[in-house]
Amino acid sequence: MLDALRDMLGPGGVLEGAGAAPYGLDWAGVDQGTPLAVLRPRSTEQVSAILRAANEAGIPVVPMGGNTGLTQATAAQGAWVLSLERMNKVLEVNAQGRIAIVEAGAILSTIHDAAEAKGLIFPLFFGARGSARIGGALSTNAGGSNVLRYGNTRDLCLGLEVVLPSGEVANLMSALHKDNSGYNLKHLMIGAEGTLGVITKAVLKLFPRPLSYATAMVGMDNVEDALVLLRALQEATGGAVEAFEYMPAAYMEAHARFAPDARPPFERVYPVNILVELGSAAPRDAAPGAEGGTALTEVLEGILADFLGAGRVHDALIAQTESQRTELWRRREDLSDLSLMRSPVVHNDVAVPLHQMGALLARIRALLAEHDADAVDFSVAHLGDGNLHFAIWPGSDHAKIHQTIYRAVEEAVIALGGSFSAEHGIGKEKRGSMARYKDPAALAAMRAIKSALDPKEILNPGKVLPD
C-alpha cells in the first residue's frame, strides 16, 4: 500500500523510520512515538486517495499541520501521519470581497503577508504564527490575542473544503456571509481536531489594516481595576481594543531572567501588568494629535491619565515607535519558550466569564498555598475574553501533587461557570476532563456524529472523545 502511495505522492511524499521520527515529537520535543509513516500530499485528490485507502484497510490517520498544539492531538504511534505541509499556498486574495482562499498547510504568517500586500489583515495572531498552519488553527478553533475584537478562528472562516474519512470531498467553499441551507457542516469541522474530516482548503475573512495603533504596558494592583479600564477603553473607542493581555509579577520577573537584555517597562514590578492595544482603520484616528502622537494615542493617554489620577493605574508606558510596540509584544509572546526555563511545568488552558477572572486568580492563590506553597505561578491571560493560561513551576517534585493542583484548578473553573478548554482543544490530554465535566447528552451526540462520519474510527483515534 505504501509503495502505491509513493508512486502517487512522488519524491518525499512518503517518510518512514528516521524520516518519520521528527513527526513523533511535540512542539517541546517530547517523544510521542514514531508514526508508521508520514504521508505528504500536494493536492486534495491525493488526500482523498490516502483516506480512501486507509478507510478500506482500517489504518488510523492523524492529520497534522504545523504541530504546534499543546494537547497531544497529533500523537500518532501506530498510525499514518497525514501532513498538509506541502499544500501551503495562498491561492487568492480578493481585496474587493475581503477574502483569502488558502490551502490548509499555509503558514499563518504567510497569510498575514499576503493580506498585508493588499492593505488588509487576517487578524489571527499568536506566538507560533511563524510555524502554525491554518488547517491546524481551524481544527482547534484557535484563539490568540485578538479574539476580543475579531473572534476565534471559527469567526474568521467563511468556507471549507473537507475530505471525509471515506475519501469523499465535501465542497463547503462558500464566500457567503449568510447561508441557511441546512446543517452548518463547516462549523462542525472547525474545532473537531481532525476527528471528523481533513480540512484541505479554506475561505478566510480579511479586514481593513489599521492605519494606527496605540499600545501600552500598564502597571496595576488588581484584575478588577483592569477590567474597569477595559470597559472605559471600549466605550471611548467604540470597540477598538484589539488586545488586553494580563501578566502577573512572577511572569515579569521570570521574563527578566529569560531575556536579560530586554528593557523592563517599569522601575518596579507591579502585581498586575496589562498589555493593551487599540487599533483603528479610520483616517481621523491616524491623524496627528496636539501632542505629536496620533489621535488614537491621545485617547489612550487621556484615559490612562484619568486612571492614574484615581489611583487605579500606577504606571504606564506607551509605545512611541513600531520597534517599541514590537518589544512590548515580544514580552507577552515569549510565554511558550519562557515556560521551558524550568521543568516540570503544570499548565492548563481554561476560560471563565470576564467578571469571574479575579475570583479564579484568588482561588488559584489559595489552592497553591494549600498544596504547594513554593510553586511559582506565572499564568498569563487573554484578559479581554476570559482565557487564562494557567502555568506554574511547582515547588514539589511529586506527580500526585501536580495532578491534584491541575484538577483543583479545573474544579475552580467549572464552579465559576467556565470551561476546562479555552483555545488549545482537547487532544489526548483533556479526554479525562471531557469525561468528568462535559454534559452526558452532549457527549452522546458527539459520539453519534463521530460514528456516522467515521464508523471505522480511522481519523485521529483516541482524541477528543473519552472512552
What is the C-alpha to C-alpha distance for residues 461 and 427, in angstroms, rounded to an integer?
10
160, pLDDT greater than 80: yes
Residue 366 has pLDDT above 80, yes or no: yes
How large a percentage of the chain has pLDDT more than 90? 96
Mean pLDDT of the chain: 96
pLDDT band for position 233 (cuts 50, 70, 90):
very high
Q: Which residues contact 252 (CB under 8 A, 6 or more apart)?
A: 264, 269, 270, 273, 331
Q: What is the pLDDT of residue 30?
A: 86
pLDDT of residue 290: 74
Least confident of 284-293, 326-335, 371-380: 284-293
Instruction: Give 418-441 pLDDT, tens digit per residue.
Output: 999 999 999 999 999 999 999 999
Per residue in 84-102, pLDDT (tens digit) is 999 999 999 999 999 999 9
Q: Which domains does the chain have, with CATH numbers?
A: 2-83 (3.30.43.10), 90-208 (3.30.465.10), 212-335 (3.30.70.2190), 342-433 (3.30.70.2740)
Burial per residue of 227-256, b for 16 or more beta-carbon CB atoms within 10 angstroms, e otherwise: bebbebbbeebeebbbbbbbbbbbbbebbe
Question: What are the beta bridge partners of residue 14?
Answer: 39
pLDDT surpasses 90 at 297: yes
Range scoring the smallest mean pLDDT among 22-31, 159-168, 172-181, 407-416: 22-31
Helix (H, G, I), strand (E, B) or coil at 373: coil
Q: What is the pLDDT of residues 23-74, one digit of tens each?
A: 999 888 888 999 999 999 999 999 999 999 999 999 999 999 999 998 999 9
- What CA–CA distance (Å, rounded) separates 31 from 37? 16
pLDDT digits (tens, 9 = 90+) for 116-131: 999 999 999 998 999 9
Residues 6+ apart with CB under 8 A from 49: 5, 8, 167
Average pLDDT over residues 377-398: 96
Q: Is the pLDDT of residue 291 over 80?
A: no
